[in-house]
Every structure is written in C-alpha cells, then in structure tokens.
Amino acid sequence: MKTAGYSLIEVMVVAGIVAIGLAAAASMINSLMFQEEINAGAVRAANLQEQAVMLHRLGLSDTQIRALLPEVCGTNATPARDTFSITFSASTATNMTVGSGTNAWTIGLDFTTCTLIYASPSPATNATPYRTNTVGILRPAIR
Amino acid sequence: MVFALLLLVVGALILGGVAQLTATQAVVGEGEWDSARRRITVENSRAMARQYWRTRMFLGSAPPSASLTNADGLGGFNLTPAITNGYWITVSETNVNARLNINPFTPMERGGFYRVWITGTLWDGSTNAGGNAGWNMQIRTRSPIAAGFCFVRQRPSVADVGELADPPYIDFQQSQRFFGYEGMPLMPVSSVTNTNAGDTNGFGGYLDVPVGASAFSVFTNVTFQPRVTNVDMQVVVDLGGWNFSTSTNPVARYDVPPTRLYTNATNGVLNLPVRTVILRGSLLGGFFDSVPVHVVVDTNNTNVQTLILSNNNTRRVYFNLMRPAGFPATPAFNVASVNSTFWRLGITVSKSAIQFQVGSLDIQGGLRTDAGTSFQAGTAFFSPETDPQGLDFIGDRMMWLEDNRAL
C-alpha cells in the first residue's frame, strides 16, 4: 500500500521558508533586545538627570552629585557606550521681574543648566548614538 | 500541514506581541523624559515663588498678588495672598476657623503662632493649562522682625532677670523718638510710658508699634530717666581699612580681640580703661563696600564699652555684643555717633543695657536686646533692614515658609 507524503523538494522548500522566517525572527529579536536596552538606558538617564537636578537644588557641588548618583557618570562629551555624562554650567545670578508698574519687584535666582549625555549600547558596527538633554535649573538665591 | 500552519501563526503572534511590548516600552521611556522635564520645571516655579516671598514677607505689609508669566522650560507662578485693608488675612493657630484681619506677625496679638496662607499656581512649562499645579504657601512666625518691628526687646529667661540692666525697662530721655518701618504711621515715643505692663518683672516682651495703631494702649506710667555718661570715646578699630579683597566669605566676620591694646588713633596714647569701636563705612567703594560686616564682641571681651558710628555707612554692619552672666549692668553699653546721619546697622545686645547718644541718626536695621535701652541725646530713627540676607543677623529664626500641593 502506497501512502501519501511530501517529496524531498517540498520538504526543502518548507524548510527554507521556515529557516528564513526564523532568521528574520532572530534578527528582529536581536534588534528588539537592543531597543529595549536603549529604552531602559534612556529611562535611567532621565531619572539620573532629575536626581542630579534635585541634588543641585540642595546645594551639592557637581563632584558630590556625580559621586552620589546611583550610576557612574562622567563629564566626557562622548561617553562610552551605555554610560552617562552629567555636567553643570556655572551658576549665574538671574533677576526676574514679578508684577508691573508700582508693584514690580525683582527677585534674584541662581540659574544653572544641567546637561546629560547618554551613549546608547548600539552594536559595535554602528556609530555610537548620543542622546543629549539640557534643562535649566532655578533655585532661590536665599537658601 | 494544518498543524504546521497553526504553529507558524502562533509563532508570528508571539513575535508580534514581543515587538508591541518593546514599542510600548519605548513610548514609556520617551514619556519619562517629558515627565522629568515637567517636574523640574515645577520645581523651578516653586523656587521662583519661594524666592519672591522670602524677599517680600519681611516688609510688614502684605505684598500684592504676584505673577511671573514664563511658561516655558523654566516655569512660572501666580500667587495671591488674601488681603483685607492692606494686611494679610491670617489664621490663628489655636482657632483655625478664625480668620483674623490683623497683621499676622504682630507680637502684640499674643497667643501663639499665626499662619498666612497664600494660594497660587505653579506652571510646569506646558501650554496645557490643565498641567499646572495648584500650590499653597504658608508663612508661620512669631517674629516681630517680620512685622516690620525693628526695635525689639526680647523677653529674657527667668534665670537672667537678676542680671539685667537697671532699670529693667526701656526709658527715654527725650520725647521725640520714632520707631517703625517705612510706611508705618510714625509713633511719638512721648506716648509710650513704660514696658512694665503685662509682666510683673517688668519685661513686657516686645516694645513695638502695632500696625495702624493710634496709641500704645498697653503702656502706662511714663518714666524718663536721665543717665550719666561715664564712657570716654576713643578710637579703637577702624574697619574701613580692612582688606576685604582677600575674603571670599560673603559675610566678613570680625571678632574683636579681647587682648587687643586699643590705641587712640588721634594721639597714639593707650587708653586701656576705655574701650571704643569705630566702624567707618563707605570707604572702600565698589563691590567690597557692599560686603556685610559681622562684628562680634563676645563674652570674653568685656572691655569694649562703646560703639562709635563715624560718618555715614551704607554697608550692612551687624554688631553683636554678648556679656557674660553676672556682668554688671552699669555702665550700659554706649552707641554714639560722630558726623553721622545714616547707618545701615543691626545691633543685637545680650545681657547688657544699651544707651544711645547720637545726633539725628537714621538706622536701617534695628536693635534687639534682652535688657534695658535708653536714649541719652539726639534723635534716632529706626527703619527695618529689607534685605532678607541681612535679616539673618538681626531677625530671629521663628519664621519659616512652608509650601505644599493644594488638595
């Protein structure tokens, strides 16, 4: 009794299609893993910058802030892959006018900018993409 | 065949789900940047609002509503104090339901702390009005300085009563004295009687002028006592020649050395029994002229007996005199002036009487003491120091600013 079955060619075609699909899936998963690492790093970077700003408001120096942050942060403008750089500009006295006319009043504030640079963990064959975020920080002159 | 296709579909779905989860994570990550930026902006707005109130809360009357429209990345704020008749509406600490229409910092209104609530809005840098945060600021104090009272007599501790100056109350030699702050109705001291009211030991707490008051109803029994001046004025310390250029401290502190031989700069004769301090102001000019000077005469230096205010001074000078326990009350510490019409000066005298013999002298800063004060000659006008940084030296610490998210 002769039974139905697949020819060798059919099996090879299917195997080829499955192999291509698996290869594509593997590549996508690899990309997704990289993307996930980048996302996680970006979230860490945003949190680091916010913490750095808060510590600056408390009056800590740049060096102290970098020492206290939970991640190793340098000052290099081109940090290594998957690392961070946080720098502060020198504080400047900033006057702002509140109200107008006879009710105008000048308030003095310290103004600083905090710049964070995050180098994503992209594949070694790619140029390291940097994400830079700069925020302005005001704190009372009277603290 | 069907089973194989089903397996491929399930695999594709799983891969699609993983891709979607990763995409969602990416969106969350991007949202974190925006959230952090808004939180930083709100904190910027809070810093602006706090600075505004710190520079305005000491002025004795209610500041107007304030708005700083700067809804960009730096933030902004809008604050509105409740005001009636020019004074902040305050809430009694002991009766939170009572909204008192008084100067909240008036120590005449005894009975505890008072609170001033200021409602406002902090901006988060978003153009979306719904993104702004309602904010409450609250000022609490019992400080008379905060009420604009630049002439303060602090109640001493019971243990110190026996060591205080004689007489243990403020007396005035002449009737034309005025105390108050800028804009406050001038109050002739002739209507002041004494400070014994309210305390059998003669310490009525603060000698102040209630805002808007027409009379010192709490004072009775006028006493004007002439004093005998037994301090010979001599030159001792000339801070005008002090080199501030080497100091990076924003406040230059000068501890008057107890062992210093005070030389009469006029004739070079040593005058050991007579101790005098002269501060010459406005001699340096420019930036260093604005550096505050904190002069401390501590308890070891009982020889310093006189402060001579020479010429005019626009530099902030804070003079602290501390006498040791048991130090004789007489003679009182002297404040005299030479060719002076204006001095920016805050004086804190502890455990020592103080007496003024000045010309017609405007003092911006004030006096705080826990002992007797007398005026021997001339006329002194006191006005408050309006620089909050300066108030650190002449004001007490019983004032603070709190703020919180509005519910």
DSSP code string of A52-103? HHHHHHTT--HHHHHHHSSS-EE--SSPPTT-EEEEEPPPEEEEEEES-GGG
DSSP 8-class letter at B202: S
Nearest to B26 among A39, A53, A136 (CB): A39
Q: Does A42 contact B63 at a Cβ distance shorter than 8 Å?
A: no
- Each of the 407 residues of chain B gets a pLDDT tens digit; together they read 677 778 778 877 887 787 777 777 767 778 888 889 989 999 999 999 988 887 777 655 567 778 887 666 788 888 888 776 666 677 766 666 766 655 555 544 444 556 778 888 898 887 766 668 888 888 776 555 555 556 665 544 433 333 333 333 343 333 333 333 333 333 333 333 333 333 333 223 333 333 333 333 333 322 222 222 222 222 223 333 333 333 333 444 455 544 433 333 333 332 322 233 334 333 333 333 455 666 767 777 676 677 777 667 766 777 778 787 777 766 778 787 777 788 878 888 877 778 787 777 777 777 777 666 676 777 777 666 766 666 666 665 556 778 888 76
- Asked if B66 and A105 count as a contact pair (C-beta separation under 8 A), the reply is yes
* pTM for this prediction: 0.64
Query: HEC states along B275-311?
Result: CEEEEECCCCCHHHHCCCEEEEECCCCCCCCEEEEEC
Q: Is B59 on the interface with A (CB under 8 A)?
A: no
CB contacts of A36 in chain B (<8 Å) are: 22, 25
Nearest to B22 among A14, A32, A99 (CB): A32
Mutate to test the interface with A, among B20, B51, B77 (most CBs of A within 10 A): B51
Enclosing H/E stretch for A42: helix A8-57
CA distance B211 to B120: 26
CA distance B359 to B160: 32
**β-pair partners for B122:** B77, B133
Q: Count other Cβ atoms within 10 Å, centred on residue B381.
A: 17
Q: Does A25 contact B56 at a Cβ distance shorter than 8 Å?
A: no
Q: Is B24 on the interface with A (CB under 8 A)?
A: no
Distance from the Cα of A135 to chain B's closest Cα (Å) equals 7
Q: At a CB cut-off of 8 Å and minimum separation 6, what does B279 contact?
A: B237, B238, B239, B240, B293, B295, B307, B308, B309, B310, B313, B317, B319
Q: Is A99 on the interface with B (CB under 8 A)?
A: yes
- B333-338 and B313-322 strand pairing: unpaired
Q: Does A136 contact B389 at a Cβ distance shorter than 8 Å?
A: no
